[in-house]
């Protein structure tokens, strides 16, 4: 999220359908806002498969899906994996990493980064630097623990 004060309900386009979601959790230190469907009948079966950040190698090809509406992508490589911060959860500390790339695009928050197999490996957020993405597998680990955010520095 590029706005750490997101609240309320939001219409989200998935394919050709619009769904109503509401904010359920916010992690401002890593720029992540979690939305859940308002209707219990909302089916989200066409989601990304999340790739394991531990398996990502330096030099590996990465594709940022810059704009679906303009059909534009940015292709680059993983140039670094670094710790971005830590989040304290019920199960302990979760280290949140960034995947840095040589993608030199001005990205808005929420741009997905996928590997050559189409697995989601990162998401751009407002706190990350240009060409850096928060690890998608770290975000899913965070959500699995229902954690609360604490700054790393």
Look at residue 146 in the predicted model and tell me its pLDDT: 56
Burial class (CB in 10 A: 0-12, 13-18, 19+), 151: exposed
The CB density around residue 32, as the number of other CB atoms within 10 Å, is: 25
- Could you tell me the two tokens for 106? 């001005």
Is the separation of the CB atoms in 11 and 19 below 8 Å?
yes
Number of alpha carbons in the 13 Å side-chain half-sphere of residue 59: 0
CA-based nearest residue to 85, from 27, 34, 131: 27
pTM of the full structure: 0.74
Q: Tens of pLDDT along 48-59?
A: 789 999 999 999
Residue in 77, 73, 88, 79 with CA at minimum distance from that of residue 27: 88
Query: Is the sign of the CA dihedral 136, 141, 142, 146 positive or negative?
Result: positive
Q: What is the pLDDT of residue 1?
A: 47
Paired with 25 in beta bridges are: 34
User: Is residue 144 within a helix (H) or strand (E), and if so which, with residue range?
Assistant: helix 136-145
With H, G, I as helix, E, B as strand and everything else as coil, classify residue 11: strand
Q: What is the pLDDT along the chain (153 residues), one digit of tens a residue?
A: 445 456 777 666 666 667 777 877 777 777 777 777 787 665 655 567 899 999 999 999 999 988 766 678 889 999 999 998 887 655 677 889 999 999 887 777 888 999 999 899 999 887 777 788 999 998 888 777 754 555 554
pLDDT at 61: 96
For position 68, what pLDDT does the model report?
62
Give the whole-angstrom CA distance, residue 68 versus residue 88. 34
CA–CA distance, 74 with 67 (Å, rounded to integer): 9
């Amino acid at each position: 999220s590029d706005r750490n004060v997101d609240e309320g309900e939001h219409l989200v386009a998935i394919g050709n359908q619009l769904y109503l979601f509401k904010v359920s959790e916010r992690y401002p230190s890593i720029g992540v806002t979690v939305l859940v469907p308002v209707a219990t009948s909302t089916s989200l079966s066409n989601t990304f498969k999340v790739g394991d950040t531990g398996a990502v190698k330096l030099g590996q090809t990465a594709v940022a899906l810059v704009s679906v509406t303009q059909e534009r992508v940015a292709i680059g490589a993983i140039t670094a994996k670094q710790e971005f911060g830590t989040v304290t959860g019920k199960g302990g500390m979760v280290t949140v990493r960034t995947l840095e790339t040589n993608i030199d695009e001005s990205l808005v928050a929420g741009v997905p980064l996928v590997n050559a197999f189409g697995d989601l490996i990162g998401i751009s957020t407002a706190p990350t630097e240009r060409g850096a993405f928060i690890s998608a597998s770290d975000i899913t680990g965070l959500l699995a623990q229902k954690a609360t955010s604490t700054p790393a520095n």
